Amino acid sequence: MTTPITVAFVLYFLAMVAIGIYAYRLIESHPDYILGGRRLGPGVAALSAGAADMSGWLLLGLPGAVYTAGLSQIWIAVGLSIGAYLNWQVVAARLRRYTEIARDSLTLPDYLENRFRDSSRTLRAVSAIVILFFFTIYTSAGLVSGAILFQSSFGLDYTAALWIGSAAIVSYTFLGGFLAVCWTDVAQGVLMFVALLAVPPVAIADAGGWTATLDRVAAINPGFLDAFSGLGVPATVSLMAWGLGYFGQPHILARFMAVRSAAEVPKARLIGMWWMVLALYGAVFTGFTALAHYRDAPLANPESAFIALSRDLFDPWIGGWLLAAILAAIMSTVSAQLLVSASALTQDFYKAFIKRDAADKELLWLGRAGVFVIALVAVWLAHDPKSTVLGLVAYAWAGFGAGFGPVVILSLTWPRMTRNGALAGMVAGAVTVVAWAQFKTQLWDIYEILPGFVAASLAIVLVSLLDREPAEEIRAEFARV
C-alpha cells in the first residue's frame, strides 16, 4: 500500500504548494501576508475557520479518546459545537467591525491595544507573549500528528517522520501567507469532511451492521456504550468546557477579522456549523467503530484508529487519499498557527518595539523568517515520541481560551471594561491554566480551561470596576461599533 499512499501524498502536497505559489504572486504587502486584505467570502471564511480549528486531533486525538473511553467522550464534541456556535453568533460580526474601526487592527494584540488606546503597549506585549508560548506548544501537537501519520504510513523512524512532515507543512505557509493558508484550508476542509463521513459507515458494514457493532463494543466493556459511564458532574462539565476555548483562539478569530464584511457572517456561520457538527460526528464514530473492528487485536496507539481503519478497510488507492486527509487536517491548523505566531513577532514585537518605521517588504520577509524559526522550536518540542496529540492540544487550547476568551467577549460587549481590566484578565487566565495543569491532581481534577476562564472573567470585571471609567473617545467608538 506504500505506493498508493505515496502517490496520494505527493499529488496532494504538490497541489497545496501550487496554491502557495499562486498566492505568493498576489502578496504585495505585509497586511496582505497576515490578513489577506480582508477579502474572504463566507464559504472560504467558514471552511478556513473549521479546518484551522480541527487539526490532527480531529482525525487522531478525538477518535483516540473515544477508542480509549467509549461514548463518554462525546461530551467533548457537544461542548465544542455549542462553543463554536456562540463564537460565530456573539463574536464574529462584532470583531469584524471593531477591528476595522479600531485603526484597522490586523492582529489580536493590535486590536486590544487600539480598543483600549494603550499607549504603554503593555497589552500588545503580554498578548503576543501568550500567543507565542501557547502556539508553539499547539504547533508541536500538529507536528506530532504528522509524525504519527508518516510513521504509520511508511514505517519511518519517529524523528525522520517528524522532520519530513514538518517540511511539508512549513513550505506553503512560508510562501503564500494568509491567502495560501485560507485557500488550502478550503481544499483541506472538504477532504477532511469526506474522509470522516466515509470511514464509519464502511466500518459498521464490515462489522455486520450497527447491532453487531454495538455487540462487539459491549463485549469489550458495556460502559463504552453509555455516554455517562464513569462520569460525574465535574467530569462531564470538564469535557464540555472545551467549548469555552473557541472565544480565545487567535487563528480562528483571524478568520472573523478577514471576512469580506460583517453582513456575510450569518452565511458563513451556517456553512461552518454544518461542516463542524458532521465532522465531529464522523470523528466520534470513527473511534467507536474502531473499537468493534479491533476487538480481538487492540491497537497499540489509540490515536492511530483512523489511520488503521483507512488502511485496513479501503482499497489502497482510496485509503491513500483518506490518509492524505490527516495531512490536510494537520497542515491546515499548523499553517494557521505559524502565521499568527509570525505576525506576533513582526507586527507586535519588531514593528512595535524595535523598528517602528520598518519597511513593508522588511516586515513581509521577517514574517516568513518567523514561520521558519517557530517551526524549528515546535519540532524540538515534538521530539518526544510519547507525546499525545490530545494532551498537547488540550493544554494550548485551554491557555488561549482562558487567556483571551473573556477578554475578547467582554471587550466586544461591555463598554465599562478598561485596559487594566483586560491586562488583569489575560494574565489571570493564562497563569491559572499553567498552574492548574501542574497541580490539578492535588486539587480538583477538572480541565484547566474552566478555572482559568472563571479567574479571567472575575479579574476583568473587578479591576475594571475599580479602575477609572474609559475615556469618552473609547466609549464613543464602542457605541459606533
What is the full per-residue pLDDT of the chain (481 aa) written as tens digits? Answer: 468 778 887 887 787 777 767 766 665 655 555 555 676 778 888 887 777 777 667 888 899 999 999 999 999 999 999 999 999 999 999 999 999 999 888 888 889 999 999 998 899 889 988 988 888 888 888 788 778 778 877 777 888 888 887 777 676 555 545 566 666 677 777 888 888 899 999 999 999 999 999 999 999 999 999 998 888 788 888 889 999 999 999 888 888 988 888 999 999 999 999 999 999 999 999 999 999 999 988 998 888 899 899 889 988 888 888 887 777 777 767 777 777 777 777 777 777 777 777 776 777 677 777 777 888 888 887 777 666 666 777 888 999 999 999 999 999 999 999 999 999 999 999 999 999 988 766 556 788 999 999 999 999 999 999 999 999 999 999 999 8
pLDDT value at position 388?
63
Q: What pLDDT is stored for residue 224 in this prediction? A: 94
Q: How crowded is residue 2: how many other Cβ atoms within 10 Å of its Cβ?
A: 11
How much is the pLDDT for 330? 76
Tell me whether residue 319 is in a domain: yes
Q: What is the CATH number of the domain that holds 269?
A: 1.20.1730.10
* Grid cell in block for residue 2: 506504500
Q: Is residue 453 part of a domain?
A: no
Q: Is residue 245 part of a domain?
A: yes
Residue 105 has a pLDDT of 86
Task: Give the torsion through C-alpha atoms of 329, 330, 331, 337, to 10 deg.
Answer: 110
**pLDDT recorded at residue 290:** 96
| Any domain includes 17 | yes
Report how far residue 157's alpha carbon sits from residue 145's, in angstroms, rounded to the nearest whole number.
Answer: 14
With CA atoms as reference, report the closest residue to 31 among 130, 127, 107.
Answer: 107
> How much is the pTM?
0.85
Is 336 part of any domain?
yes
Number of domains comprising the chain: 1
Whole domain around residue 346: which residue ranges? 2-383
Q: Sign of the C-alpha dihedral, residues 209, 325, 396, 90?
A: negative
Count CA atoms closer than 13 A to 371's CA, side-chain side.
27
Buried b (16+ CB within 10 A) or exposed e, 294-306: beeeebeebbbbb
Is residue 11 in a domain? Answer: yes
Asked whether the beta carbons of 35 and 364 are under 8 A apart, the reply is no
Domain annotation covers residue 427: no
Are 247 and 401 a contacting pair, CB within 8 Å? yes
* Whole-number pLDDT of residue 307: 87
Which residues lie below 8 Å from residue 18, measured CB to CB, with a gap of 6+?
A: none
Q: Is residue 268 part of a domain?
A: yes
CA angle 471, 475, 477 (to 5 degrees): 115
